[in-house]
């Protein structure tokens, strides 16, 4: 109809200029003579936000007309990265905007540089959630992403004397032009207190939860735009105090206590917990989880009822995807809402619940599998604990009927009562969902054979795999414009919406002039990264060197320290006059360590110590350079991946659920050195064995090694080079004579070595020698680089989201243009 808004795409230079100036004058009250760079950034962002909302509104109308089945993605973390550049790309107005600003003597790149990204996540899991919103928008999945509006996101990392130091992330300090607050979309969330069980006049049990505190969650909406198409919303909840009628009456005159209470309740969304894959068991974290889950479910139910629908068919209209177990209390919360508030019978409510949820598992690491103490959960959420007990008792009865052994039953129980009783959130999520998926083929297989084996035997059809993917528009089109242009010149724009179209480049893989263009683009990207690294660290790299890059969270299982052992082996080879085959290499590290993770922080110190030693030694620093690039983030990542020659994916097999950085590197033409872990396996399958440097034990070999009794010390004794490298750690040469500084790493590797660095050492060294040999043939390297990129089709998050739609959500997409 004519009331439908026009498209926000392909605007003219004059339209852009006009809107930009209007936002600057009337939105911000600024004129060019006093405007700061941040004013210009905010003005452009506000103008762009209008066009993004235009697309969003068009989508909403379309979804409403089609009466489509929708998806709510629940994630405690998001890492969207800077919005402005991505939105310009998706509106197809980057070039026009650049010209419009140039007319005003302004530089788009400088304005883009102003944006502070929302660091509302730790790493892979949060970034995956944002890639998925991008693809859901692009494909036209009627969807909404729910999460938490942390006031302070992941800390900013600085280096002090080579150690990580954490600085509060004040991402909202300069305001956030992308979000719109919705004060009328606000819900109350209860905590604590007790429950009352009564029979009503119909002799039906009625449970009443009398909480001891309540807080309000208010929605903040950020539009997420797909490529030349739909927009969806990321809805983040922010906590605030409620001054209830009762509260005011009881505390008449007690203003300061009221203020204190208000301060306490606003703490809930203050800060993101910076631990990934390691439990802290903190009460506030459980509060955060329940808070955002409760707000989100209330919101979804409000939308459902608003459309005049019955809760009996809730699951036919909504899919709720649980991004790991962090939102898994939702299973109990939906039961509570249906049974206690809407008076649904338990069995029917359970049917609705189980058909609503689906659960994605992201880890097999025991220390990352969420467990909440029964005691804590009962204190904070007494009604939910009762519901979990009820779910469990019915579930275990079912198992008994099916003649499961007592041992199996206790393994499968939602309650772990060995030691302090606790709730296994992965079991709650599995029992309460109709589908459970892992995030790579290998991980999904291991999930079924290890962590959730009993469940997979009980419900084989419930288990499935969706291999992760990445937003290729952000990580190629936006962040590597040189390569993107070359691709588009050769094969057109189809790849932007269908990454498998990159295969059309196959005929160029052997073409010498194409290879040369390819190499020049990589070289320019390396020059840009070199400048950035010099500015941030003072270390000047040489862009003609091999750029060998290891960026991701610092964790022992990811084995940054294996990379360090390799660097030291090269250093010692050079010092011993045996380094002639070494190709000149710059080693670049980046990643944050959880602030309480002793070993991870010491690994950072080790990297910076090795960097100091090597960069300042004229005998080796023509051939080797090492830097630790602080504060790795999405924004930095966008500059790092395009400049990589070699991607380090060297986790111990069986530990990295998928990895997504591995995909971003390959997509930008880096070759991978990696183990058969996570999605590396599938990357290698796609790009071809010859174009992937493989090393290390397989998952099965890891298991056998551990079973047979692993003695790292024996390997140390038998391998002279390795012994020399290891002893160097405690020689004092890395630490101004302090022989104790790196002893914890040394001891850990010689005594336990839980991630088998020593076992995989020789294999890694040999694979690296192969890398250095291959690098010497630049045409061959370029060819393999091209073959990596053109075979990346599978790893677009568009493919992942299509898989979710077909296999799990059963939704049809609805596209608007
Ligand atoms: C419970 C709490 C301590 C916790 C907080 C954050 C536990 C885990 C996490 C984050 C996990 C995470 O980022 N996992 C990564 O998910 C990616 C997306 O699926 C995978 O690619 C990657 O292998 C996995 O480590």
pLDDT at 245: 45
Q: Which residues of 179-195 are buried (b: 16+ CB within 10 A; e: fewer)?
A: beeeeebbbebbbebee
Q: Which of 241-255, 396-410, 726-740 has the lowest mean pLDDT?
A: 241-255
Residue count (the chain): 817
Ligand 1 pocket, mutate which of 280, 324, 674 (most atoms under 8 A from CB): 324
CA of 276 to the centre of ligand 1 (A): 6
Q: Which of 252-256, 585-589, 711-715 has the lowest mean pLDDT?
A: 252-256
Look-up of token digits 């898994």: 328
Give which of 706, 697, 720 is closest to 752, Cα–Cα.
Answer: 706
Ligand 1 pocket, mutate which of 77, 276, 659 (most atoms under 8 A from CB): 276
Mean per-residue pLDDT for 428-448? 98
Give which of 88, 59, 73 is closest to 234, Cα–Cα.
Answer: 73
Q: What distance in Å separates the CA atoms of residue 754 and residue 749, rounded to the nearest whole number?
A: 8
State how far Cα 607 lies from the chain centre.
24
CA distances from 461 to 67, 123, 437, 524 (A): 29, 30, 11, 50
**What's the pLDDT tens digit per position in 682-716?**
999 999 999 999 999 999 999 999 999 999 999 99
**What's the pLDDT tens digit per position in 178-224?**
999 999 999 999 999 999 999 988 888 999 999 999 999 999 999 99
For the Cβ of 123 lying below 6 angstroms from any atom of ligand 1, the answer is yes
CA of 363 to the centre of ligand 1 (A): 6
For the Cβ of 468 lying below 6 angstroms from any atom of ligand 1, the answer is yes
For the Cβ of 802 lying below 6 angstroms from any atom of ligand 1, the answer is no
For the Cβ of 279 lying below 6 angstroms from any atom of ligand 1, the answer is yes
Residue 510: which H helix or E strand, with range?
Answer: none
CA of 682 to the centre of ligand 1 (A): 19
For the Cβ of 656 lying below 6 angstroms from any atom of ligand 1, the answer is yes
Ligand 1 pocket, mutate which of 368, 441, 597, 650 (most atoms under 8 A from CB): 368
Give which of 64, 58, 37 is closest to 223, Cα–Cα.
Answer: 58
pLDDT at 260: 73
pLDDT for 392 beyond 50: yes
pTM higher than 0.90: yes
pLDDT for 379 beyond 90: yes
Mean of the per-residue pLDDT values for the chain?
96
For the Cβ of 370 lying below 6 angstroms from any atom of ligand 1, the answer is yes
pLDDT at 7: 82
pLDDT band at 244 (very low <50, low <70, confident <90, very high): low
**What's the pLDDT tens digit per position in 789-806?**
999 999 999 999 999 999
Mean per-residue pLDDT for 359-370? 95
CB-based contact 750:558 (threshold 8 Å): no
Tell me how many degrees the CA angle 219-129-528 measures, rounded to the nearest 5. Answer: 110
For the Cβ of 277 lying below 6 angstroms from any atom of ligand 1, the answer is yes
pLDDT for 456 beyond 90: yes
Look-up of token digits 């299982």: 557
Map residue 679 onto helix, strand or coil. coil
CB-based contact 648:549 (threshold 8 Å): yes
**What's the pLDDT tens digit per position in 393-408?**
999 999 999 999 999 9
Segments of 58-204 assigned E as strands: 70-74, 143-148, 156-160, 163-167, 180-191, 194-199
CA of 575 to the centre of ligand 1 (A): 40
For the Cβ of 362 lying below 6 angstroms from any atom of ligand 1, the answer is yes
pLDDT for 732 beyond 50: yes
% the chain with pLDDT above 90: 92
Closest ligand 1 atom to Cα of 126: 13
pLDDT for 4 beyond 80: no
CA of 362 to the centre of ligand 1 (A): 6
ipTM, two decimals:
0.98
pLDDT at 265: 66
Ligand 1 pocket, mutate which of 363, 447, 470 (most atoms under 8 A from CB): 363
pLDDT for 256 beyond 80: no
**Atom 7 of ligand 1, residue of closest alpha carbon:** 277
CA of 443 to the centre of ligand 1 (A): 13
**Atom 14 of ligand 1, residue of closest alpha carbon:** 125
Closest ligand 1 atom to Cα of 280: 3
Q: What is the DSSP string of 710-768?
A: --HHHHHHH-HHHHHHHHHHTSSTTTTT-SSTTHHHHHHHHHT-TT-HHHHHHHHHHHH
Give which of 170, 136, 143 is closest to 71, Cα–Cα.
Answer: 143
For the Cβ of 677 lying below 6 angstroms from any atom of ligand 1, the answer is no
Tell me how many degrees the CA angle 239-57-307 measures, rounded to the nearest 5. Answer: 70
For the Cβ of 705 lying below 6 angstroms from any atom of ligand 1, the answer is no
State the pairing for strand pair 180-191/213-225.
antiparallel
Closest ligand 1 atom to Cα of 468: 19
Q: What tokens were used for 364?
A: 């097999």
Kindly report the backbone phi and psi dihedral angles of residue 709, in degrees, each rounded to the nearest multiple of 5, phi listed first. Answer: 90, 105
Q: Which of 54-68, 356-370, 756-770 has the lowest mean pLDDT?
A: 54-68
For the Cβ of 734 lying below 6 angstroms from any atom of ligand 1, the answer is no
Ligand 1 pocket, mutate which of 148, 657, 755 (most atoms under 8 A from CB): 657
Give which of 171, 301, 151 is closest to 236, Cα–Cα.
Answer: 151
For the Cβ of 365 lying below 6 angstroms from any atom of ligand 1, the answer is no
pLDDT for 2 beyond 50: no
Between residues 708 and 247, the one the model is more confident about:
708
For the Cβ of 288 lying below 6 angstroms from any atom of ligand 1, the answer is no
CB-based contact 421:374 (threshold 8 Å): yes
For the Cβ of 289 lying below 6 angstroms from any atom of ligand 1, the answer is no
Q: What tokens were used for 170?
A: 């004040």
pLDDT for 455 beyond 70: yes
Ligand 1 pocket, mutate which of 326, 362, 371, 597 (most atoms under 8 A from CB): 362
Q: What distance in Å separates the CA atoms of residue 788 and residue 779, rounded to the nearest whole number?
A: 14
CB-based contact 569:726 (threshold 8 Å): no
CA of 121 to the centre of ligand 1 (A): 10
CA of 750 to the centre of ligand 1 (A): 28
CA of 323 to the centre of ligand 1 (A): 10
For the Cβ of 664 lying below 6 angstroms from any atom of ligand 1, the answer is no
> Which are the contacts of 659, defined by CB distance < 8 A and separation ≥ 6?
124, 440, 468, 552, 649, 651, 677, 678, 679, 680
**Atom 18 of ligand 1, residue of closest alpha carbon:** 125
Q: Which of 6-15, 217-226, 255-264, 762-771 has the lowest mean pLDDT?
A: 255-264
pLDDT band at 274 (very low <50, low <70, confident <90, very high): very high
For the Cβ of 659 lying below 6 angstroms from any atom of ligand 1, the answer is yes
Look-up of token digits 């203050």: 270
For the Cβ of 657 lying below 6 angstroms from any atom of ligand 1, the answer is yes
Closest ligand 1 atom to Cα of 127: 18
For the Cβ of 763 lying below 6 angstroms from any atom of ligand 1, the answer is no
**What's the pLDDT tens digit per position in 303-345?**
999 999 999 999 999 999 999 999 999 999 999 999 999 999 9
pLDDT for 1 beyond 50: no
Could you tell me where the DSSP H helices lie in 495-619?
Answer: 512-537, 560-575, 598-615
Task: List the catalytic residues.
Answer: 362, 552-553, 558, 660, 664
CA of 655 to the centre of ligand 1 (A): 11
Q: What tokens were used for 122?
A: 């730790």
CA of 326 to the centre of ligand 1 (A): 10
CA of 125 to the centre of ligand 1 (A): 5
């Amino acid at each position: 109809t004519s009331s439908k808004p026009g498209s926000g795409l392909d605007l003219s230079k004059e339209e852009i200029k006009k809107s930009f100036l209007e936002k600057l004058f009337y939105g911000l009250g600024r004129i060019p003579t006093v405007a700061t760079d941040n004013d210009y950034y905010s003005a452009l962002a506000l103008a762009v936000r209008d066009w993004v909302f235009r697309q969003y509104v068009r989508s909403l109308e379309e979804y409403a007309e089609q009466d489509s089945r929708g998806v709510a993605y629940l994630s405690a973390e998001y890492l969207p990265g800077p919005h402005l550049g991505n939105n310009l790309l998706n509106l197809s107005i980057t070039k026009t905007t650049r010209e419009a600003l140039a007319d005003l003597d302004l530089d788009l790149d400088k304005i883009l540089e102003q944006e502070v990204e929302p660091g509302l996540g730790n790493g892979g899991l949060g970034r995956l959630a944002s890639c998925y919103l991008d693809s859901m928008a692009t494909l036209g999945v009627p969807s909404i992403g729910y999460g938490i509006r942390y006031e302070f996101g992941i800390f900013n990392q600085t280096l002090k004397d080579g150690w990580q130091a954490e600085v509060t992330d004040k991402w909202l300090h300069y305001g956030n032009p992308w979000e719109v607050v919705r004060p009328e979309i606000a819900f109350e969330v209860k905590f604590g207190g007790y429950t009352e069980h009564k029979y009503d006049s119909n002799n039906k049990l009625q449970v009443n939860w009398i909480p001891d505190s309540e807080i309000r969650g208010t929605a903040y909406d950020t539009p997420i735009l797909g490529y030349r198409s739909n927009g969806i919303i990321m809805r983040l909840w922010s906590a605030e105090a409620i001054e209830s009628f009762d509260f005011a009456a009881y505390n008449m005159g007690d203003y300061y206590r009221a203020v204190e209470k208000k301060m306490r309740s606003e703490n809930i969304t203050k800060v993101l917990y910076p631990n990934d894959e390691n439990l802290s068991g903190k009460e506030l974290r459980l509060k955060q989880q329940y808070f955002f889950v409760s707000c989100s479910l209330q919101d979804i139910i409000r939308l459902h009822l608003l459309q005049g629908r019955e809760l009996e068919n809730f699951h036919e209209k909504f899919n709720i995807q649980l991004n790991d177990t962090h939102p898994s209390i939702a299973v109990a919360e939906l039961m509570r809402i249906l049974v206690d508030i809407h008076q649904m019978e338990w069995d029917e409510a359970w049917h609705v619940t189980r058909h609503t949820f689906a659960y994605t598992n992201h880890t097999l690491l025991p220390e990352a599998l969420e467990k909440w103490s029964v005691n804590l959960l009962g204190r904070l959420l007494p009604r939910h604990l009762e519901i979990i007990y009820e779910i469990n008792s019915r579930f275990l009865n079912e198992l008994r009927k099916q003649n499961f052994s007592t041992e199996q039953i206790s393994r499968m129980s939602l309650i772990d009562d060995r030691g302090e009783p606790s709730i296994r959130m992965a079991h709650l999520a599995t029992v309460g969902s109709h589908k459970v998926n892992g995030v790579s083929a290998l991980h999904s297989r291991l999930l079924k054979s290890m962590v959730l084996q009993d469940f997979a035997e009980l419900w084989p059809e419930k288990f499935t795999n969706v291999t992760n993917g990445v937003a290729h528009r952000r990580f190629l089109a936006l962040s590597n414009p040189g390569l993107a242009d070359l691709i588009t010149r050769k094969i057109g724009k189809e790849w932007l919406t269908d990454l498998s179209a990159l295969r059309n480049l196959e005929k160029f893989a052997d073409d010498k002039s194409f290879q040369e263009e390819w190499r020049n683009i990589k070289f320019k990207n390396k020059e840009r990264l070199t400048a950035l690294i010099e500015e941030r660290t003072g270390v000047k790299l040489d862009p003609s060197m091999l750029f060998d890059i290891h960026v991701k969270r610092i964790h022992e299982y990811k084995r940054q320290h294996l990379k360090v052992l390799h660097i030291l082996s090269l250093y010692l080879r050079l010092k011993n006059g045996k380094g002639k085959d070494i190709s000149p290499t710059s080693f670049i590290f980046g990643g944050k360590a959880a602030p309480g993770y002793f070993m991870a922080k010491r690994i950072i110190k080790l990297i910076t110590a090795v960097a100091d030693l090597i960069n300042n030694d004229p005998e080796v620093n023509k051939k080797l350079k090492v830097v630790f690039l602080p504060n790795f983030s999405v924004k930095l990542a966008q500059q790092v991946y395009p400049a990589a020659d070699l991607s380090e994916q060297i986790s111990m097999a069986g530990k990295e659920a998928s990895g997504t950085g591995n995909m971003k590197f390959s997509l930008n033409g880096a070759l991978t050195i990696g183990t058969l872990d996570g999605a590396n396996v599938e990357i290698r399958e796609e790009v071809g064995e010859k174009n992937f440097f493989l090393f290390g034990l397989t998952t099965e070999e890891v298991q056998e090694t551990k079973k047979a009794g692993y003695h790292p010390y024996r390997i140390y004794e038998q391998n002279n080079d390795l012994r020399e490298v290891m002893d160097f750690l405690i020689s004092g040469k890395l630490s101004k004579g302090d022989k104790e500084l790196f002893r914890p790493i040394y001891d850990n590797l010689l005594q336990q070595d839980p991630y088998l660095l020593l076992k995989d050492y020789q294999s890694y060294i040999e694979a690296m020698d192969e890398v250095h040999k291959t690098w010497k043939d630049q045409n061959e390297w370029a060819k393999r680089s091209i073959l990596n990129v053109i075979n990346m089709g599978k790893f677009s998050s568009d493919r992942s989201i299509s898989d979710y739609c077909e296999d799990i959500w059963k939704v049809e997409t609805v596209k608007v243009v």
